[in-house]
Chain A
Amino acid sequence: MSKNIYQKKAYQIRKELLDKFYLLKEGHPGSVFSIIDVLIVLYFGKFIRVKKNNKIFTPLDDLIVSKGHATVGQYPILKDLKIINKKEWDNWGFKKSILKMFGNISIPGIKTATGSLGHGIGYGTGIAYYAKKNKIKKDVYVVISEGELYEGSTWEALLLLSSLKLDNVTIILDVNNNIILGNPKDCLSLGSLSQKFKSFGVYTEECNAHDFKKLELKFKKFKNIKKPKCLIVNSIKGKGFKIMEGKAQWHYWNPITKKQFYNIHLDLKKNYANK
């Protein structure tokens, strides 16, 4: 996939999400925009394969956004890939729609219920284990946040994942250096993340969360590594919008004026559309 196509998608998807957040006056834009470029590469780079059967599009591989408040980032992508009906996206905020601020399994393409932190790797391990046992070709991608590393269940799941040697699981650890009350380093330090994952027997590399080419190369490389994998992606919370970037308060949507909304759009266009 060319860099230009990713760039175009990054603009289009961000624009759609921004309009939706503005309409709904709620959501978690900081977390969504820190991970959106990774989602774009996974879906549009065809790491998550989609099958068409009788006009119904279904993912063959699974993506679990364990940091459930960022599931919203999947919706416009799933709509583009015709997995979610366009009407559901258009109706959201106006009329009845299946879409919710946190994903659940009634939404096509959303594999699990998330929102409470620390479940994703456990779910993913169960899915991947059953697929392996039944010789189903399936890759499972699990996006977790650094905040989820405080949950004990994350480490319980890593222990099992590593013990089962499931090479069809890739964890994407989103490090945006922001949890609700600030930088984890100033709250309760997580220490060396890379060392921790490696010590669990997980193949671990790091990457810029907003560099499409590098992300694509990493995911391609990972497909040939016969171990559970973790890609630590260094991201900027609220990436793409000056007003939000790196700002803890933009974990949640903040009220803005029409003029600010207009300026954010200009900002976005400048950063993505004109490049």
Chain B
Amino acid sequence: MQINNKEFQRDAFIKEIYKAAKKNKKIYFLSADFGAPALDAFRQNLKSQFLHLGICEQNMIDFACGMALEGAKVYAYAMAPFLALRCIEQHKTATCLMNLDVCSIVTGIGLSYANSGPTHYSTEDLACLRSLPNAYIYTASDPATAEMIARHTLRIKKPVFVRLDRKASTNFKKLVNKVEIEKGYRYIKKNNKSNVLVISHGTILERALKSFLELNENQKKDVDIIELIRCKPFPTALKKIISNYKKILTIDEQTASGSLESIISENSYKINLHSLSLPDKFMYENLGREKLLDKNNLSIKNITNKIKKLVKNK
């Protein structure tokens, strides 16, 4: 569904799965009472490939794994905090331990459900999911990336977790391509010899870009930005790229422990690493997502200042 050129990532993703499912009867879509406009067409026209599992994420994953053991390609869909954490043990014992072709569509990451409070925030899903061996984890930053990730999931037979945002957004100016999805990362901004590299993923990347625009021309020449599309397995080529920069800044809409900062730290050697992420606390303020981000380390001003400082002290 598109509103003023904005699209929901979930719709962009599901549309692709729906197209494929019309031709491939082995594709099944399971929902734990979670909808989307694009899912309505799937439910209506591919009734025999859609199942409403009730609000029970744990059984949805066990059931999906049973089907996958028989040869089905299964998509399991629910709200991020519940699909990631409520059934983390199912992801471990069933999906990942048996290395099955099940794709979990983890929808509403970060502070997507800002007005619902901490039970609905998904600010630790990355730390939990990425601790699972065999997992493939993708994060979409815009609807076009969600669509391309969907196509990619149809080509791989792995335990996949696709992290989608809740909000509708426009695409970044430069659209992601198939090679970049396969590599697992892409440059959003690239100069010749920048000293500072910003790494981010998800819609918080929008703030990284806005902060970049706040820099003067000289500063801009010293900053590159990479979108990490697949954080697990970590893209091998990226390890070498990271080591070429004097300073790295990670920006992530997750709490710090186990998230993007940890990923980069674990996949690099002797780098000067800085990080901006959410504080280690439950947030109850009913401010809406933008203000919550502003108040909790991730304001454009804060990001801009951090980048400027890194550029200045290079």
Taking beta carbons and an 8 Å cutoff, which residues of A are in contact with B? 104-105, 111-113, 115-116, 119, 121-131, 133-134, 136, 152-153, 156-157, 159-160
Contact A125 B48 (CB under 8 A): no
- What are the residues of chain B within 8 A of A119 when measuring CB–CB? 62, 90, 93-94
Q: Which 9 A-B pairs have the closest CB atoms?
A: A126-B66, A122-B62, A156-B59, A156-B56, A130-B70, A126-B63, A126-B67, A123-B66, A127-B66
Enumerate 13 A-B pairs (CB-CB under 8 Å) in ascending A order.
A104-B97, A111-B69, A113-B94, A122-B61, A123-B94, A126-B65, A126-B67, A127-B67, A127-B69, A129-B63, A130-B66, A133-B48, A159-B54
Give Cα A146 to B97, complex, Å. 25
- What are the residues of chain B within 8 A of A112 when measuring CB–CB? 65-66, 69, 94, 98
Mark interface residues in B58-86 (1 if CB within 8 Å of A CB, else 0): 11011111111111100000000000000
Contact A127 B93 (CB under 8 A): no
User: What residue in chain A is nearest B92 (Cβ atoms)?
Assistant: A116
Give Cα A142 to B43, complex, Å. 31
Contacts between chains A and B (CB distance < 8 A), count: 88
B246 to chain A, nearest CB (A): 46
Beyond A113-B93, A130-B70, A156-B54, 19 additional contacts (C-beta under 8 Å) are A104-B98, A112-B69, A113-B97, A119-B62, A122-B58, A122-B61, A122-B90, A122-B94, A123-B66, A123-B94, A125-B62, A126-B64, A126-B65, A126-B66, A126-B69, A127-B69, A130-B66, A160-B54, A160-B56
Contact B59 A160 (CB under 8 A): yes
Tell me if B215 counts as interface (CB < 8 A to partner A): no
Give Cα A115 to B98, complex, Å. 13
Tell me if B89 counts as interface (CB < 8 A to partner A): yes
- What are the residues of chain B within 8 A of A104 when measuring CB–CB? 97-98
Tell me if B53 counts as interface (CB < 8 A to partner A): yes
Give Cα A115 to B92, complex, Å. 12
User: What residue in chain B is nearest A154 (Cβ atoms)?
Assistant: B59
Give Cα A26 to B116, complex, Å. 49
- What are the residues of chain A within 8 A of B62 when measuring CB–CB? 119, 121-123, 125-126, 153, 157
Most chain A CB inside 10 Å of its own CB: which residue of B61, B62, B69, B97: B62
Taking beta carbons and an 8 Å cutoff, which residues of B are in contact with A? 48, 53-54, 56, 58-59, 61-72, 89-90, 93-94, 97-98
Give Cα A136 to B69, complex, Å. 14
Partner of A160, one of B53, B65, B72: B53
B28 to chain A, nearest CB (A): 8
Give Cα A105 to B98, complex, Å. 7
Contact A153 B94 (CB under 8 A): no
Partner of B58, one of A111, A115, A152: A152
- What are the residues of chain B within 8 A of A133 when measuring CB–CB? 48
- What are the residues of chain B within 8 A of A153 when measuring CB–CB? 56, 58-59, 62, 90
Partner of A123, one of B54, B65, B71, B72: B65
Give Cα A121 to B66, complex, Å. 9
- What are the residues of chain A within 8 A of B70 when measuring CB–CB? 126-127, 130-131, 134, 136
Give Cα A129 to B97, complex, Å. 22
User: What residue in chain B is nearest A125 (Cβ atoms)?
Assistant: B63
User: What residue in chain B is nearest A159 (Cβ atoms)?
Assistant: B54
- What are the residues of chain B within 8 A of A111 when measuring CB–CB? 69
- What are the residues of chain A within 8 A of B94 when measuring CB–CB? 112-113, 119, 122-123
